[in-house]
């Protein structure tokens, strides 16, 4: 017995001794900031410098001596990028890195549903975690300033409030998996032309009211652990090393405690990168990196040049300590968090999530009866599969892969259901035929990834003649076109050349409309497009880039299995000059200088200010059912700055199908000391109603909803006076208006 007690005593003594020797930085019962300082005190200067720059295309060093892991980044916002070689963009040749392709973020924004954003973030975060990444390079939330921006498909539309409400649950969903969401591209990265060199001049009102709110929400509400700097310059400094954006606003005004990561190749100067708020440098093209020099990464601006300045005493060691603290905080939140879940990858559950997001984001732009129909005939959609015998699908985008190409969002998808395949699956006994109609470039190939070859060498006339001939006896003709992921369209690195559809699609659509009245046009894009044939076509659907489940989601909406409920996250102009950036003639800038002359009047704000009729307005989207809005009632006729105004609106589904409606609330200031838009989106909610079901929707208006940014005082202010509340189904479809006063 005594022997057993002695053994137990020795065991607990050893255990107690071993526990007392555990370094503070490895003890997760200690406060994080205490652990950070302890780890920092144990690091050599060279180890600190190693942590602030890349060691490969997508990784940076840890401190093996101390058990601090490497950091591994991954593109992108729509799916987890395939593994590439250590120092090349080409594929590493893995056989188990085929991800689930989620819809592009324009589609997510078009759901107008924060629950879908949470589902998206959680699902993609699980995929990143499974692949052992601790930073997801996304989401993107730059504002849609021009429909020519090649990267708009990666962002969340033209309205700062909509983007703010959608980015927060996305960030939170990702980070529940112990993976940092790296929100990008901060800030003012609103065009791809001259993106590495253009200097953006924008007034503070536009900066704070339009271009920063979504980033602020991601940081202050979403608690994002990482931010990626942009390529462009602002106030003459590159955004990745910008004193005003990174130190003054991000750190000092918003109290960001995460890590600032450069976009790949976004650093241009050592001292500015040291002092102006950057923490980690990636992708710099310096000293032969393009030729894959063996020591290229040690030549980065924050590598040997930084170390030399530190050792000489020209730069204080506290400057490297600031950066390493943020990187250690990232590690403790991700790779060194023992409670991280394990994640999952390419699962059926993620496929269902991708499909649900896609279905909710598809926007029914137009739905009328064919022009030759008797009066009172039903709209052409949903398809009547009980009477149809033949469906003709026309267009290259019906068969073209949309997951490969486009830049850093290119994916090696586990599968991709094409629109044609999805329609065939849903057709049952209905015969589905296909005609090419038009041919674009050969399929995009990127980083060693290539889609199936769909080359067709026939002339445009042959293709058009075939399509029109086959359309004559079809019950429905579904044209599937739009844009794609090639350079000069929806693709990183360049902007579109114009608003029109490429490859002669306008002519194909117009000619098809002459031979059939049952024509449905499906636009696949991440941008608005011109539609000169809009009055000749009974139905138009915007489907975005829908990812792995594209065909299934589209077919479900076309057949009525799913009632469309998406709303446009940006305006569709008739022509480019209906947009402020183009009307004022400053896009894409002159001599690398770009001035945002339209100021706060972006998107629908510009359209309404100038009384322009859009092709389709911001917030627009139809349903297969109908919703009626009752009269809005307010809790009071006036409020003070400390009170809330409650607005109640009865909404009823007066149609025959269950459906979802996005109720949108805009606020307009009747008289202001500074110019303000006619109205601005301040609240929205997506509700689901059964036929004949009614619900009362309520919103609370606070003084914060009434404020604008006073650039002279550098603060948000609300002025006493009269305001209007506009409630409707889109920015142009206002159903009820109420007045109140702020005292």
* Number of residues in the chain: 743
| CA 575 – CA 584 distance, rounded (Å) | 14
* Cβ atoms within 10 Å, residue 221: 15
The CA distance from 159 to 361, in Å, is: 16
Pick the catalytic residue: 50, 97, 159, 263? 263
Strand partners, 434: 393
Query: How many whole angstroms separate alpha carbon 501 and alpha carbon 523?
Result: 10
The tokens for 557 are 């909406």
124: preceding bond cis by omega (within 30 degrees): no
Q: What are phi and psi of 522, to 5 degrees?
A: -110, 125
Q: Which two tokens stand for residue 84?
A: 């590439």
Whether the CB-CB separation of 539 and 520 falls below 8 Å is answered with yes
Radius of gyration of the CA atoms of the chain, in A: 27
Q: What angle do CA 77, 553, 398 make, to 5 degrees?
A: 90
Among residues 174, 156, 78, 171, which one has the least CA distance to residue 549?
78
Q: 239 in helix, strand or coil?
A: helix
Q: Give Cα 99 distance to the centre of its chain.
A: 18
Burial of 204 (0-12, 13-18, 19+ CB in 10 A): middle
Residue where the block lists tokens 């536009």: 206
Nearest CA-CA partner of 706 in 672, 664, 663: 672
CA distances from 457 to 265, 438, 440 (A): 39, 10, 11
Q: Which residues pair with 686 in a beta bridge?
A: 662
Residues contacting 81, CB < 8 A, separation 6+: 74, 75, 99, 408, 410, 411, 412
Residue 350 is encoded by which pair of tokens?
């993620």
Strands 390-394 and 476-482, bridge-based pairing: parallel
- Cα-Cα end-to-end distance for the chain: 83
Q: Which of 497, 457, 501 is nearest to 479 (CA)?
A: 501
In degrees to the nearest 10, what's the CA dihedral of 188, 192, 197, 199? -30
CA-CA distance, 422 to 352, in Å (whole number)?
A: 15
How many Å separate Cα 253 from the centre of its chain?
24
Active site residue 263: yes
Q: Taking the CB of residue 13, how many other CB atoms lie within 10 A of it?
A: 10
Catalytic residues: 263
């Amino acid at each position: 017995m005594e022997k057993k007690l002695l053994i137990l005593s020795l065991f607990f003594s050893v255990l107690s001794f071993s526990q007392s020797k555990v370094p503070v930085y490895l003890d997760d019962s200690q406060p994080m900031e205490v652990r950070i300082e302890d780890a920092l005190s144990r690091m050599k200067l060279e180890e600190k410098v190693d942590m602030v720059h890349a060691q490969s295309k997508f990784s940076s060093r840890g401190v093996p001596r101390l058990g601090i892991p490497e950091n591994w980044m991954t593109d992108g916002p729509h799916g987890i990028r395939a593994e590439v070689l250590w120092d090349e963009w080409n594929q590493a040749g893995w056989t188990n890195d085929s991800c689930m392709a989620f819809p592009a973020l324009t589609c997510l924004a078009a759901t107008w549903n924060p629950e879908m954003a949470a589902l998206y973030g959680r699902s993609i975060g699980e995929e990143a975690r499974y692949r052992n990444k601790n930073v997801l390079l996304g989401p993107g939330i730059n504002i849609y300033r021009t429909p020519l921006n090649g990267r708009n498909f990666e962002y969340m539309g033209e309205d700062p409030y909509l983007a703010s409400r959608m980015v927060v649950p996305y960030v939170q969903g990702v980070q529940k998996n112990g993976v940092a969401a790296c929100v990008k591209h901060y800030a003012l990265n609103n065009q791809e032309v001259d993106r590495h060199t253009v200097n953006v001049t924008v007034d503070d009102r536009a900066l704070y009211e339009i271009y920063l709110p979504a980033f602020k929400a991601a940081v202050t509400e979403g608690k994002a652990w990482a931010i990626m700097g942009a390529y462009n310059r602002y106030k003459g400094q590159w955004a990745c090393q910008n004193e005003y954006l990174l130190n003054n606003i991000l750190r000092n005004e918003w109290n960001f405690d995460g890590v600032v990561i450069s976009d790949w190749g976004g650093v241009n100067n050592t001292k500015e990168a040291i002092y102006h708020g950057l923490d980690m440098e990636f992708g710099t093209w310096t000293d032969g990196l393009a030729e894959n020099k063996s020591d290229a990464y040690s030549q980065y601006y924050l590598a040997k040049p930084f170390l030399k300045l530190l050792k000489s005493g020209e730069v204080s060691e506290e400057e490297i300590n600031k950066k390493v603290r943020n990187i250690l905080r990232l590690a403790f939140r991700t790779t060194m968090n023992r409670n991280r879940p394990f994640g999952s990858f390419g699962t059926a559950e993620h496929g269902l999530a991708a499909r649900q997001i896609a279905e909710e984001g598809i926007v029914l732009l137009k739905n009328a009866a064919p022009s030759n129909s008797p009066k009172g005939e039903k709209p052409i959609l949903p398809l009547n599969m009980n009477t149809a015998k033949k469906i003709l699908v026309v267009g290259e985008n019906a068969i073209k892969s949309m997951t490969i190409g486009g830049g850093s969002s290119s994916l090696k998808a586990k599968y991709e259901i094409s629109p044609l395949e999805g329609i065939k699956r849903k057709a049952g006994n209905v015969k589905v035929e296909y005609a090419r109609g038009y041919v674009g470039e050969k399929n995009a190939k990127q980083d060693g990834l290539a889609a199936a070859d769909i080359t067709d060498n026939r002339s445009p006339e042959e293709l058009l003649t075939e399509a029109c001939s086959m359309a004559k006896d079809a019950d429905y003709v579904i044209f599937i076109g739009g844009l794609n992921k090639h350079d000069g369209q929806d693709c990183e690195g360049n902007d579109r050349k114009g608003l029109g559809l490429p490859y002669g699609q306008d002519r194909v659509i117009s000619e098809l409309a002459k031979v059939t009245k049952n024509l449905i046009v499906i636009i696949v894009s991440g941008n608005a497009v011109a539609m000169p044939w809009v009055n000749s076509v009974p139905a138009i659907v915007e489907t975005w880039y829908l990812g792995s489940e594209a065909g299934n989601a589209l077919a479900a909406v076309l057949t009525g299995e799913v009632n469309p409920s998406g709303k446009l996250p940006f305006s569709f102009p008739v022509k480019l000059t209906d947009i402020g950036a183009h009307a004022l003639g400053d896009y894409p800038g002159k001599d690398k200088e770009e001035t945002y002359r339209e100021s706060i009047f972006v998107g629908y704000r510009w359209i309404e200010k100038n009384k322009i009729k859009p092709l389709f307005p911001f917030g627009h989207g139809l349903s297969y059912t109908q919703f009626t809005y009752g009269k809005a009632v307010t809790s009071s006729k006036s409020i003070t700055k400390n009170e809330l105004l409650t607005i109640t609106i009865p909404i009823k589904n007066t149609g025959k199908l269950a459906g979802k409606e996005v109720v949108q609330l805009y606020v307009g200031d009747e008289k202001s000391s500074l110019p303000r838009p006619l109205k601005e989106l301040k609240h929205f909610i997506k509700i689901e109603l059964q036929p004949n079901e009614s619900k009362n929707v309520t919103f609370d208006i606070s003084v914060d909803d009434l404020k604008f940014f006073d650039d002279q005082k550098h603060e948000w202010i609300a002025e006493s006076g009269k305001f209007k509340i506009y409630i409707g189904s889109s920015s142009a479809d206002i159903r009820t208006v109420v007045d109140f006063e702020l005292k």
